[in-house]
Amino acid sequence: MTAPILITERLTLRPPQEADFEAFAAFCASERSKWVGGPSDRDKARTIFNGYLADLASGHPSYLHIVLSETGVVIGRAGIRRADQPPEPEIAYSLYADQHEGHGYATEAATAVRDWAYDTLGLHTVVSYIEPENAASQAVASRIGARPDTNAPRWDKHPNLIIYRHRAPEERS
């Protein structure tokens, strides 16, 4: 599988590039990363970033960087976590800085990833694992049609997460 480039009305979701590392490392060091296991130091950020690159190079879905198409600024990440990490393939998304919240960017990016997961990758089910306190991510999942699924298999590593199930295209009409 070639790493995708997803284009939306305002965003380009593309594979991470080495020039993106500084924005990613700043996110990892910030309090904003608390929902994804952070804050983390620069070495840990480098390990994570290199993992994304390796996943994409080996043909696995991974995170793409969210880029404002008009300016070329990297504002976050969105993508599919491999199914061998949590129990099911996961749509995950993070914006790197507070100033990018409230513009619909996470919703736009998550929608593009969901559609790619079903339409191009041919996945039959996709979820988002969300911390109970992360109201912003829960709102994004709800806006794109996902609903809490109390019957979904729990992720042993993170048993308290709320699991949002993203509806397949035929269920969204």
pLDDT value, residue 170:
80
CA distance 64 to 153: 26
Query: Which 8-state DSSP code applies to residue 19?
Result: G
3-class secondary-structure state, position 139: helix
Q: Is 41 exposed, middle or buried (0-12, 13-18, 19+ CB in 10 A)?
A: exposed
User: What are the tens digits of pLDDT across the range 21-80?
Assistant: 999 999 999 999 998 888 999 999 999 999 989 988 888 888 999 999 999 999 999 999
How far, CA to CA in Å, does 38 sit from each of 46, 102, 123, 145, 171? 13, 22, 29, 28, 35
* pLDDT tops 80 at residue 2: no
Domain ranges of the chain: 6-172
- 119's CB contacts (< 8 A; 6+ apart) are 169
pLDDT value, residue 173:
62
**E strand or H helix that includes residue 98:** none
**What are 11's strand-pairing partners?**
68
Provide the pLDDT confidence category of residue 12 given band limits of 50, 70 and 90: very high
Residues 6-172, CATH architecture: 3-Layer(aba) Sandwich (3.40)
**E strand or H helix that includes residue 4:** none
Residue with tokens 């990363």: 33
3-class secondary-structure state, position 95: strand
pLDDT value, residue 80:
92
User: What are the tens digits of pLDDT across the range 83-119?
Assistant: 556 678 999 999 999 999 999 999 999 999 999 999 9
pLDDT value, residue 132:
96
Q: Six-digit token pair at 47?
A: 């390990």
* pLDDT tops 80 at residue 153: yes
pLDDT value, residue 157:
78
